[in-house]
Amino acid sequence: MTGRNEAMDLTLHRRIRSDIADRILSGEWSPGFRIPFEHELMAEYGCSRMTVNKALAPLAERGMIIRRRRFGSFVARPRIHSFVLDIPDIQAEILNRGEPYDFELLSRKVRAAHKRDAEELALAASGEVIELRCLHRSSGRPFALEERLISLASVPQARDADFTGVPPGTWLLECVPWTEAEHRIRAVNVSRATALTLGIDPAAACLSLERRTWRRAERITFVRLTFPGEAYDLGARFAQSDPTGALDQAADPAAAP
């Protein structure tokens, strides 16, 4: 193949790939739709089977199509992508901002699990928990109210921790391995007592972050963190996938800001 033909082949297989991706992303070809057979694409674009394969292979690798021998290629069902928040260490976050941090242990008690506790931590009726309430401060101002349960069945060593010198979340991150976490985030209005603790107006909006943490099949802890609305935000940065590779080809590093 001459240099010119190689260049034409390269351009053509990108064009085929782009055309197919555009039809999938636009919804013209829905999940389960059979895309034209290879010989049909060869006839439509006037190209070789190798060129068609070069176009289809990256689409299959990116999960946009499924190739089935003797049956053809089909539009794949979209995958669900979730963005998982890491488990934050409030003390580290505040110190990383360059602000002084302190916290106050408001209460600590060991008790039998209530029915709702048992549901949150999947405990037996006779299970015990440590119930903790802490106030985190940044630059002397209330930053978050922490209400936490720790399963003593899963973390028996927590019974001997008084949590006056180290925040519970920091202690758990340092001492207890975890494998999975689930977050629930919502805007809430709080009780007058909670508003007083946080030093805010009772009508002010707050951010509530609830988290359950597992070590394999064991639930370790449940925590509810309540932040004054202006004190905390959550963000994620992510990129849109580029199935056609067109953005990679068009990118000019010299033009980057």
Q: What is the pLDDT of residue 77?
A: 67
Low-confidence ranges of the chain (pLDDT < 50): 1-4, 6-7, 79-84, 240-257
Q: What is the pLDDT of residue 129?
A: 93
Q: What is the pLDDT of residue 233?
A: 64
Is there a shared CATH topology between the 3-80 domain and the 90-228 domain?
no
pLDDT in tens, 125-138: 668 999 999 999 98
Q: Please state the pTM of the whole predicted model.
A: 0.59
Q: What is the pLDDT of residue 234?
A: 61
What string of DSSP letters covers 175-235? HS---EEEEEEEEE---HHHHHHHTS-TTS-EEEEEEEEEETTEEEEEEEEEEETTT----
Let me know: does 194 contact 164? Beta carbons within 8 Å.
no
Distance in angstroms (rounded) separating the CA atoms of residues 41 and 124? 62
β strands within the chain, DSSP E: 65-68, 72-75, 101-112, 128-138, 141-151, 180-188, 206-215, 218-228
* Token output for 18: 């782009």
Give backbone dihedrals phi and psi of 37, rounded to 5 degrees, phi first. -60, 160
Residue written as token pair 């209400």 = 147
Q: What is the pLDDT of residue 241?
A: 46
Q: What is the pLDDT of residue 137?
A: 94
Q: What is the pLDDT of residue 114?
A: 84
The class (CATH top level) of 90-228 is: alpha beta
Distance in angstroms (rounded) separating the CA atoms of residues 103 and 217? 31
Q: What is the mean pLDDT of the chain?
A: 81
Q: What is the pLDDT of residue 247?
A: 36
CATH fold of the domain at 3-80:
Arc Repressor Mutant, subunit A (1.10.10)
Distance in angstroms (rounded) separating the CA atoms of residues 60 and 180? 30
Q: Where are the domains of the chain?
A: 3-80, 90-228
Distance in angstroms (rounded) separating the CA atoms of residues 231 and 143? 6
